[in-house]
Structure 1
Amino acid sequence: MGVPEAELPAGAGDIPESIIDPAGRGPRVWFQQVPEPKVAKNRWHFDLKVGGGRDVPLDVRTQRVKATVERLVKAGATILRIKDEPDMGLYAAAMQDPEGNEFDVV
Structure 2
Amino acid sequence: MITNPKLQLTIDCAEPERLAAFWSAALGYEVEPPPAPFASWRAYWLDQGLPEEELGTGDCSDSVVDPQGVGPRIWFQQVPEPKATKNRLHLDLGVSGGRGVPFATRKERVLAKVAQLESAGASRLRVEESEQSGSCFVVMQDPEGNEFCVH
> Normalised by the size of structure 2, how large is the TM-score?
0.44
Which residue pairs with 1:98 in the alignment?
Answer: 143
Q: Output the aligned Cα RMSD.
A: 2.7
Instruction: Name the CA shift for 1:88/1:41 in 2 (closer, same or farther; >3 Å).
Output: closer
Q: Provide the identity percentage.
A: 46
Name the SS for the 1:82 alignment partner. strand
1:82 to 127, 136, 139: 127
Which residue pairs with 2:113 in the alignment?
Answer: 68
Distance 2:118 2:133 in 1: 26
User: What is the total number of aligned residue pairs between the two structures?
Assistant: 76
Which sections of structure 2, spanning at least 5 residues, go unmatched?
4-68, 73-83
Structure with the higher fraction of residues in helix conformation: 2
Which runs of 4 or more aligned residues in structure 1 lie more than 2 Å from their structure 2 counterparts after TM superposition? 25-28, 41-44
Code of the residue aligned with 1:77 in structure 2: it is: A
1:26 to 55, 70, 79: 70
Which sections of structure 1, spanning at least 5 residues, go unmatched?
3-24, 29-38
Distance 1:86 1:57 in 2: 10
Which of 1 and 2 has greater Rg? 2
Name the SS for the 1:59 alignment partner. helix
